[in-house]
Structure 1
Amino acid sequence: MSEGKTNNRSTRYSAPSYPIIYISWRARLAEFVTNAIDNLSHGITVRDAMKDLGLRDKTDFLPGLDVRLLPHQVIGVSWMVAQESSTRRGGILADDMGLGKTVQMIATMVINQPEPDADCRVTLVVVPAALLQQWKDEIDTKTNGIFETHVHHGKDKIKKLSELQSKDVIITSYPTLCQDFWLPKDLEPGEEAEYLAKEGGILARAKFFRVVADEAQFIRNRSTRASTSLAYIRSIYRWMLTGTPVTNTLADVYGLLRFGRFRPWNDWNDFNAYVAKVQYEDAPLAGQRAQAILEPLILRRTKNSTLEGEPILQLPPKDIELCMLEFSEEERDLYDSFEKRSKIRLSKFIKERTLVKNHAVVLVMILRLRQLCCHPNLILRDTDDFEDPTLLMAGDGEKELSRAIKFMGKSWVNDVSWGFLERSAASELIDFADLIAEGNDTCPVCHDLYANGSGRIIECGHELCFDCLLELSNAAVAHDGIFGYGSEKQNMEVERAYEEAATKGLRPCPTCKKMCDFNATNKVFKSIAFEPSDEELTAYANAHRRGSRRHQVKYEIKDEDDEDNMDVDVDISESSPTPNKIEELSEDELPDASSIFAPKAKRAKISDVKPKRKFDDGPSDEVIATWRKGDDNLEASTKMLALVDLLKKSGDDKTICYSQWTTMLDLIDKLFSRHGIQCLRYDGRMDRPSREAALTNFKRPGGPKVILVSTRCGGVGLNLVVANRVVNMDLSWNYAAESQAYDRVHRLGQEKDVFVKRLVVRNTIEERMLKLQDVKTGLAEAALGEGSGGKLHRLSVKDIKHVGADL
């Protein structure tokens, strides 16, 4: 790629005004490109890099840096400095986890500093909240104090622009950044940048010398506020640090290109036409094009790379073992019984043609099966009835819809339902690749798919996952940057109103910042109530293809005296008749049941089972009562017993135990008390000082040897080389997330052999999840010129079916 297709400072950029949803991939990659990107050093030798940086030998320190760079880091810093001198003004440092991306970035900051009288002097570093203090410590300890750093977060946020501009480095979190880039809905396209520069939060009004997005996979989804906010930010230099630049699809690359303003690929229309849409017709070609785009912008080295004939990094070996476990007789009985009931429920959805509407139910059904693999208490504690799987899932959609109408009104329900219809169309229909949908299939707080917890709609109409809803409702009140947009008097009035609302138990919506009551049962609703049916999606698709716009297609809640008053119908103009059957759609319009749920032979077999069949071979009441216990009398599950056994064999080594569910960590904590095992906790329910105290205690010689960590909270960025053993209690949808968690211990500074144990139960959904992980790992390797091939798609209904092959 020539430099003529990259960006320069004078280019004006306007990010899209509305979020966009990724489509669901149907194409298959026949084979990946075999000529991988050879950008180990971009032609730079260690000797050349040392010369560029003014180093005489490998033992020299860079002036201003209090740490000696390794050979591959010297090349990395040389490349980064050259990138900043070119028209690209930055790039993507995509080194494997543990190779020292942070220190290379800090070294670049030391070498290329702004002039003392420059208008833009501040470097902004945007990180996950868990890494705020770690980044500050890294900069302060490695730069001899030459930078004045400040953590811009919570109550420590700077309110005056002059004070912010007096700092050298500002470190903030993605959620805090997003709050400063809020945009009113009535802005005309193209007015966003001007509005933010004048009326936005302090980070939106500021101009920066350099912006660094750490763990940049957080901005891969172009529809998220984190991604769009960074696209608007004003800066001379732009850097992305990530060990996983491609996680799910080639569309992940666009979020990075947009932030970097790498022309012409920072325009979605250009990137979509050149790469994203090409995947439908010629996936290998799309992979080649993605490689060509990335090659001049990215530097990526893996731990297995060699440099001038020597290993790039001398790390102890890392042994990852898949521990296949067998359920106890009672656990198997519980699991099989629930799986049978789930099959019956799916058969009912297929017959009633309500698969799309019940998408959330299917996702939560799979979630419950995954939780059963860890401990039955995770689902049994939620209900007294084990007969109907829906009682353990998101709830009944019609009843929830009725409740929403009663408390919020039809107009509110119409608006929310319309958003879900657009989202479903964008997600499931190929023809809707460019559809701009309000909403997203990931939680705005934890950025996880709603598959990992049922979504909740709050009174402002925005969605977040149930776990984050609970966490935010119990969190301490902080200003979180919603002040500072008007005069001092106006700011004070807003702040007083905020505090008054907070004392009443209200908390700000993560998306729009409206103060909402997260604990009011009449103002929080399950997302399943607003999912469109297949018929509604069909009608929308046909109307859209005939040129219909939103004013021609609308949701209409029937009056209470109408028949079936709990249904949500789609009213289409006479020129756009609604087909009565899903079968009337073409193959490209709506995924059929076979692609979503089961091979035909499998589906036919399931259909023979009558939905109203009663089970007389299920678990007994005594078994259910035994496994429902979550107190000191809890029954240890197969995985918990395996964990205790592994810890007994670990000697003096320290161990990290990961789980995606804090409730599982709670059960493990209770079991440890019974066995006399001291442990620490690190999860999202703890405030930042408590988490930092836990890490300090864990790193202390003689401190506890075990720490229980939430995967979503402690899976990225942390340096935990004090431990050399990892036990993962449950699989992630994407292996990249697991790999990042494992590399918290397998990185620079690790002196012991590393042992990772992945606990998987045989003949369960977990075995099928392993196949999906292989698919997504292959995709990431495709765009980077690594690996050998696989299927290209994101976690969608079809993925769910591949995972639950027999459901």
Structure 2
Amino acid sequence: MCKPRIKKKGTYQMLSVLISKKFYGSYKNYISLKNFFYNTVFQKDKRILHSNDLLFRCVSFFNEAKYKDLLLAPRMTDKIASFIIEERPFDDFKHLQRKLYECPRGGLILQAYVDGLENRSVIENILEDCKLQSKKIQCTIHPHQEIGLKWLVLMHKLNLNAILADEMGLGKTIQIIAFLSYLKKESIKGPHLIIVPSSTVENWMYELKSWAPSIKILTYYGTLDERRHLRAMATDNTIDVLLTTYSMVGSKVEDRKFFKRFKINYVIYDEGHLLKNCSTERYKNLMKIHGERKILLTGTPLQNNLVELISLIYFTMTKLFRKYCNDVNQLLNQFQQKAPMMEAKNSMLYESEKIEQAKAILQPYILRRLKSDVLENLPIKHDRIIFCSMIDEQKRIYRDLMWEFKELSAKGKKVVTSKLMQLRQISNHPLLYRSRYTDDRVVKIAKVLCKKEETYYKKNPEHVAEDLSFLSDFAISQLCSKYKSTRKFCLNEDVALISGKFEVFDELLPKIKSQSDKVLIFSQFTAMMDIIEVYLKIRKYKCCRLDGATPVMERQELINKFNSSEDIFVFLLSTKAGGLGINLTTANHIIIHDIDFNPYNDKQAEDRCHRMGQKKEVYVVRLISSGTIEEEMLTIAQKKLQLEKEITGGNINGTKFVSLHEEGKSYLLIIFIRKTRTKRGCMHKKKDKEEKKYVEDIKIVHILQPSSI
């Protein structure tokens, strides 16, 4: 271990010592050595203080060390080293102590050496304790996970909250389970509360049972009656872990009261993005849970955003924070007030300075590793963007909508967000817009429903027709298929195949299938997922589906089914429900059918299979409809990722990005329409390569606060 370098920075002195790369890689400010252990940990560990073994090692060193080795001891000088060689051998520690105190500064050298041995002993004891925890765990953890465990143990001994921010796919779940096993071995009683997204609760149950079967778990999830019974069971002193979801914690008044009064040791927040914005009601409810300590798990790094940073400071140092400010919003409002024009520049500089200070404060509490740093054998991930030419029907609908927007703009009317959503949907599939079902046809369907179907007997046909007019072609066809009287109005299933992106599906999926690989398909919209399901059925590809409506207790079963069955070729997932905390490494192809404004949602989706356990190279394909709003979304997403790299220390091609002062708004959405002449690039389909035409193009400046990333 290298000689420690002490940085004195007030109350952070004990957390500012850097140790060798061999122990903690290149990650700074996580472990301290000299003052850190001497003032906190080793004084609590009486096993090593002035033990016979320690004193024997001390005497042995001063008796046997060569001159050059003596000079390496703390505070050693040439004169004192020569004195030691002349006076030795020393019979015992008292003899050594007496002789060195006869020499000026000799006593200080002896004390410094003893301190060093004591500090080293503490580290050795902690590492030994971490190794012993493996007896409680049924599987072997990876080296980087063992390092994460050691860091959690050190934070525990210091009585500090922690943020484990490893990149997605590095096994944060396993590190927490190993840490809980350590606590159980040390007889540190729970219960400990783990709060997770609904999509991951079954995975947590499975991992806890697999890795640490001796840990007794109670899952707090179910109906009102079931939860009432579970609240009574939670009083059992033998329970080690209470597992629940974010929705359950704040679901009903009874739930909130229960968690507020329940005595908890550790509160562990998985995928804790909700704790990055202290202005939300959910954040306030979560912070009312009184745990002795807290651990936040997140796969996203710190952002250049004061709201997020203050939220995390409040999370890690709640007691200290409350000494200065009882209301978090009170502090935030001071930063979010509009500054006068002359003061705007100074305000931005001041905020930028405070952001850097907040990051420095948080750094010792955060451990973050990247897959590229710790997983040397992780297969390569290939990213590819395919620009898809829309079919003629899509182009016509898209062009008509653009003219409509232009007319609204000319009249000085705002183009609302719902119109932008229509453009996104048309870019994906023409059936997500109503064009095949004309107004006359909708009226006929409404009349038939009100005349022949019991559900609609008492309804006014005009009102029914009005409701139907807001639905897409696909939704109307699905509705008609439910009733015998309206099945004649259903669209032919083959129309689901007519889409520019599905033409790319027809090129990609057979190739993937021929390689005996599996594929994950992600979409933002459940309506689009319905159409993709129809496509997969027609093409005879077996699939599983998981979205927000999938019951929580069925999700892990679907994941297991996909991972174990060779017949299931496709897993269809919604980006948000299927993009968090699940393991699908049996697939190595990902198709993102429609991208998100927030690139981190798509990155989380990618990491469902590009993670530990993946044995094949991973191929990620993003489908972008040419000449549409999706091209602008892609540009925005790429700029956000560039900004993130710059914020975390990377300078991309010499470009410097400046954070924007957003005057307290959650986001700014500026829409303007312009006519522009475009020439298709070489990435587009061949038939469009030399096509020149005027297109109506929407340009969007969509500036999201980093806290939403």
TM-score of the pair, normalised by structure 2:
0.64
**Who is 1:301 aligned against?**
369
Deviations 1:61-92 (A, max 9, x none): 7231222222222221111111122242x211
State the shift of 1:250 in Å: 3.9
Change (3 A) 1:630 1:111: farther
Matching residue's letter, 2:425: Q
**Who is 2:382 aligned against?**
319
| Alignment partner of 1:734 is 2:598 | yes
**Who is 2:669 aligned against?**
798
Deviations 1:620-642 (A, max 9, x none): xxxxxxxx957444342011221
Query: Is the CA contact 1:247–1:736 (under 8 Å) kept in the aligned structure 2?
Result: no
| Alignment partner of 1:334 is 2:403 | no
Q: Which one of 283, 295, 309 corresponds to residue 227 of structure 1?
A: 283
Task: Give the number of equivalent residue pairs.
Answer: 503
Q: Which one of 156, 160, 174 corresponds to residue 84 of structure 1?
A: 156
Change (3 A) 1:331 1:211: same
**Cα distance in 1, alignment partners of residues 259 and 177 from structure 2:** 21
Q: Which one of 193, 201, 210 corresponds to residue 266 of structure 2?
A: 210
State the shift of 1:345 in Å: 2.0
**Who is 2:311 aligned against?**
255
Query: Counterparts of 1:95-110 in structure 2 under 5 Å?
Result: 95-110=166-181
Deviations 1:436-455 (A, max 9, x none): xxxxxxxxxxxxxxxxxxxx
**Cα distance in 2, alignment partners of residues 795 and 269 from structure 1:** 15
State the shift of 1:646 in Å: 1.0
**Who is 2:544 aligned against?**
680
State the shift of 1:771 in Å: 2.4
**Cα distance in 1, alignment partners of residues 269 and 418 from structure 2:** 32
Deviations 1:150-189 (A, max 9, x none): 211113435465521322111111011012568xxxxxxx
| Alignment partner of 1:174 is 2:243 | no
Change (3 A) 1:236 1:264: closer
**Who is 1:757 aligned against?**
621
Q: Secondary structure of 2:170's partner? A: coil
Q: Which one of 230, 233, 250 corresponds to residue 163 of structure 1?
A: 233
Q: What is the root-mean-square deviation in Å for CA atoms of aligned residues?
A: 3.7
State the shift of 1:255 in Å: 3.3
Change (3 A) 1:69 1:806: closer
**Who is 2:486 aligned against?**
none
**Who is 1:369 aligned against?**
423
Q: Secondary structure of 1:295's partner? A: helix
Q: Which one of 764, 767, 771 corresponds to residue 635 of structure 2?
A: 771
Q: Which has the higher contact order (CA 8 A, sep 6+)?
A: 1
**Cα distance in 2, alignment partners of residues 104 and 301 from structure 1:** 13
**Cα distance in 2, alignment partners of residues 726 and 753 from structure 1:** 11
**Cα distance in 1, alignment partners of residues 235 and 642 from structure 2:** 44
**Cα distance in 2, alignment partners of residues 125 and 661 from structure 1:** 30
Change (3 A) 1:286 1:671: same
Q: Which one of 201, 216, 219 corresponds to residue 151 of structure 1?
A: 219
| Alignment partner of 1:636 is 2:706 | no
Change (3 A) 1:275 1:723: farther
Deviations 1:287-341 (A, max 9, x none): 4223212211111111122xxxxx5442100111111222223322221221221
Matching residue's letter, 2:519: T
**Cα distance in 1, alignment partners of residues 125 and 626 from structure 2:** 55
Deviations 1:227-261 (A, max 9, x none): 11111110011011000144684423333333334
Change (3 A) 1:57 1:180: closer
Change (3 A) 1:224 1:283: closer
Query: Is the CA contact 1:50–1:57 (under 8 Å) kept in the aligned structure 2?
Result: no
| Alignment partner of 1:70 is 2:150 | no
Query: Counterparts of 1:11-22 in structure 2 under 5 Å?
Result: none
**Cα distance in 2, alignment partners of residues 251 and 363 from structure 1:** 25
Change (3 A) 1:774 1:207: same
Deviations 1:538-563 (A, max 9, x none): xxxxxxxxxxxxxxxxxxxxxxxxxx
Q: Secondary structure of 1:714's partner? A: coil
Q: Secondary structure of 2:141's partner? A: coil
Matching residue's letter, 1:765: I
| Bigger radius of gyration among the two | 2
Matching residue's letter, 1:164: A
State the shift of 1:57 in Å: 11
Unpaired runs of at least 5, structure 2: 1-7, 14-24, 34-119, 338-345, 441-462, 468-489, 674-696, 702-709
Query: Counterparts of 1:186-197 in structure 2 under 5 Å?
Result: none
1 or 2, which has the higher helix percentage? 2
Change (3 A) 1:3 1:273: farther
| Alignment partner of 1:132 is 2:186 | no
Change (3 A) 1:740 1:795: farther
Percentage identity across paired residues of the two chains: 27
TM-score of the pair, normalised by structure 1:
0.57
Query: Is the CA contact 2:220–2:230 (under 8 Å) kept in the aligned structure 1?
Result: no
**Cα distance in 2, alignment partners of residues 102 and 57 from structure 1:** 17
State the shift of 1:265 in Å: 5.1
Change (3 A) 1:61 1:682: same
Query: Is the CA contact 2:579–2:608 (under 8 Å) kept in the aligned structure 1?
Result: yes
Deviations 1:633-659 (A, max 9, x none): 434201122123211111211100000
Change (3 A) 1:692 1:630: farther
Change (3 A) 1:115 1:316: closer
Q: Which one of 743, 752, 769 corresponds to residue 607 of structure 2?
A: 743
